[in-house]
């Protein structure tokens, strides 16, 4: 089929796919791209040419997405790639996260910016260990919407009971992780059932196709439901130079991107970590004065009083976090160098980077069983655990549960700048259990 690309402004959905190669993820991504006209003739020709060179008779669509030499040589996907496609209703940014050994780290990366995660399951195998892991990572990263795509329905005679049993098991598991918005779609990525076009083989299914759901799922949370958080990125003071310096002599604006909530002119705000309070005197939306701004807009805020504010401070309205030097967090370790107790690191939180010490690695989470295990060797790459950090300066952190932007941080190696660890303030799951809790979990 052909999809007309809408040329007017539409909304944007960032989503991530999770699934091992055998689940048919490449085929699904290929079909979404192909059927939304995002694979163009010259790209297809390049794939056909490369496939012929390898002695393959039919074009290998994996070559569309496996872009690097090493990937093509080894037939594996090395890490997250971003794909772009559009339909009449929406623009999509797809974080294509490969499912091999470096899996957890990649899915955490892809899920960190995703508003929706597609978890792929092979209908013949149902919910397996890998599926539970996908669901756990989506829950850990607080991805608001999860889609269970039960693939290869053509190989189970498009049987409803097969789909219903898998959907039921997955939804119950996801609910136990705190994921409430799960939508299950029976598909065949290879045959095209329910991906873009409704399936002629599954009359019993009354829901939308995968693409239809991607097009209609609500984007973004309602910013008016969250307190305003505005990390100061940069102080704009035109008097330090420029052609119009006379006109802007008294201008002092705090540039940043609203991490959450709504700011209005006149709002009472607190500047953290100093704790000074004042009101919003003006908001400039990239050159245009406005009286309201909301997440995730990038704006410049002017305040009623001349307070000493610099990059790294947080302008906060509504319930305000208490700055702390003691940070408890769930982390995913990203680097090949393990994270040990006693490590001196840099911690980047919003626009603020401070020195930090790893005081304690409380436990490691077995992502397959959600059990807590001891971590005497520290955290290795791809491991998820709970840590206690002590920072050199106080941080205005929210719990990651409440705020994905002001609750997240990175740990960085001060020696060479390597990104070591992704951190989420607070506990991972309500349901994490200790070893003693019993074996028959799940």
Partner 1 sequence: MTTATDSLPVTDNPFTLSHLDALEAESVHIFREVAGEFERPVILFSGGKDSIVMLHLALKAFWPAPVPFTLLHVDTGHNFPEVIEYRDRTVAQHNLRLHVAHVQDFIDDGRLRERPDGTRNPLQTVPLLDAIESNKFDAVFGGGRRDEEKARAKERVFSLRDEFGAWDPRRQRPELWSLYNGKHAVGEHVRVFPLSNWTELDVWQYIEREGIELPEIYYAHHRDVFKRDGMWLTAGEWGGPKETETVENRLIRYRTVGDMSCTGAVDSDAATIADVITEIAASRLTERGATRADDKMSEAAMEDRKREGYF
CB 171 within 8 A of CB 155: no
Closer residue to partner 1 (CB): 78 or 307:
78
Closer residue to partner 1 (CB): 64 or 354:
64
Closest listed residue to residue 228, CA positions, set 301, 281, 287, 285: 301
Stretch that binds partner 1, among 23-31, 130-138, 346-354, 432-440 (CB under 8 A): 346-354
Nearest distance in Å: CB 335, partner 1? 9
Residues 101-160 that bind partner 1 (CB under 8 A): 105-106, 108-109, 112-113, 145
d(CA 308, CA 13): 38
CB 64 within 8 A of CB 222: no
d(CA 207, CA 209): 7
Does 75 sit near partner 1 (CB under 8 A)?
no
Nearest distance in Å: CB 434, partner 1? 28
Q: Tokens representing 197?
A: 């076009």
Which position among 82, 100, 128, 157 is part of the footprint of partner 1 (CB under 8 A)? 82
Does 72 sit near partner 1 (CB under 8 A)?
yes
Specify the 3-state DSSP secondary structure of 290: strand
CB 121 within 8 A of CB 150: yes
* Nearby residues of 295 by Cβ (< 8 Å), 6 or more positions away: 223, 226, 229, 257, 258, 259, 260, 261, 262, 405
Does 234 sit near partner 1 (CB under 8 A)?
yes
Does 87 sit near partner 1 (CB under 8 A)?
no
Nearest distance in Å: CB 214, partner 1? 10
Does 250 sit near partner 1 (CB under 8 A)?
no
Q: At what angle do helices 160-176 and 129-140 cross, to 10 degrees?
A: 40
CB 433 within 8 A of CB 370: yes
Does 68 sit near partner 1 (CB under 8 A)?
yes
Nearest distance in Å: CB 65, partner 1? 7
CB 105 within 8 A of CB 332: yes
Residues 280-339 that bind partner 1 (CB under 8 A): 284, 286-287, 294, 296-298, 300, 311, 334
- Interior angle at CA 372, CA 371 and CA 375, nearest 5: 135
Nearest distance in Å: CB 105, partner 1? 6
Nearest distance in Å: CB 194, partner 1? 10
Residues 170-199 that bind partner 1 (CB under 8 A): 171, 181-185
Does 278 sit near partner 1 (CB under 8 A)?
no
Closest listed residue to residue 80, CA positions, set 55, 107, 104: 107
Does 168 sit near partner 1 (CB under 8 A)?
yes
Closer residue to partner 1 (CB): 39 or 371:
39
Radius of gyration from C-alpha coordinates of the chain: 24
Does 241 sit near partner 1 (CB under 8 A)?
yes
Residues 363-392 that bind partner 1 (CB under 8 A): none
Closer residue to partner 1 (CB): 70 or 200:
70
């Amino acid at each position: 089929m052909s999809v007309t690309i809408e040329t007017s402004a539409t909304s944007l959905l960032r989503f991530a796919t999770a699934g091992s190669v055998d689940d048919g993820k490449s085929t699904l991504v290929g079909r979404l791209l192909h059927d939304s006209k995002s694979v163009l003739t010259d790209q297809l020709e390049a794939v056909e040419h490369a496939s012929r060179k390898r002695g393959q008779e039919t074009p290998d669509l994996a070559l569309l997405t496996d872009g690097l030499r090493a990937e093509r040589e080894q037939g594996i996907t090395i890490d997250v790639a971003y794909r772009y496609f559009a339909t009449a209703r929406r623009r999509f940014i797809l974080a294509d996260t490969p499912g091999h050994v470096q899996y957890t780290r990649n899915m955490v990366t892809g899920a960190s910016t995703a508003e929706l995660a597609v978890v792929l399951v092979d209908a013949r195998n149902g919910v397996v260990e890998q599926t539970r892991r996908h669901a756990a990572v989506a829950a850990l990263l607080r991805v608001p919407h999860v889609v269970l795509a039960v693939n290869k329905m053509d190989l189970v005679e498009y049987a409803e009971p097969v789909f219903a049993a898998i959907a039921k098991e997955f939804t119950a598991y996801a609910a136990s992780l705190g994921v409430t918005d799960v939508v299950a779609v029976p598909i065949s990525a290879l045959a095209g059932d329910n991906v873009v076009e409704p399936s002629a083989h599954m009359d019993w299914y009354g829901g939308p196709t995968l693409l239809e759901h991607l097009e209609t799922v609500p984007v973004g949370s309602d910013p008016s439901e969250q307190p305003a958080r505005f990390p100061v990125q940069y102080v704009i003071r035109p008097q330090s130079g420029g052609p119009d310096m006379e006109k802007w002599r008294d201008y002092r604006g705090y540039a940043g991107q609203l991490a959450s909530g709504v700011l209005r002119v006149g709002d009472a705000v607190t500047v953290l970590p100093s704790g000074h309070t004042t009101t919003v005197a003006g908001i400039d939306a990239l050159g245009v004065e406005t009286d309201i701004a909301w997440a995730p807009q990038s704006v410049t805020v002017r305040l009623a009083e001349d307070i000493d504010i610099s990059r790294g401070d947080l302008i906060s309205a509504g319930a305000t976090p208490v700055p702390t030097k003691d940070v408890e967090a769930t982390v995913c370790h990203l680097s090949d160098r393990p994270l040990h107790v006693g490590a001196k690191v840099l911690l980047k939180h919003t626009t603020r980077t401070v020195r930090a010490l790893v005081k304690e690695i409380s436990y490691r989470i077995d992502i397959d069983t959600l059990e807590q295990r001891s971590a005497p060797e520290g955290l290795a790459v791809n491991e998820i655990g709970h840590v206690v950090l002590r920072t050199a300066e106080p941080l205005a952190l929210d719990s990651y549960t409440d705020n994905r932007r002001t609750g997240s941080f990175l740990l960085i190696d001060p020696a060479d700048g390597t990104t070591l660890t992704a951190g989420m303030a607070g506990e991972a799951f309500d349901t994490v259990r200790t070893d003693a809790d019993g074996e028959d979990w799940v």
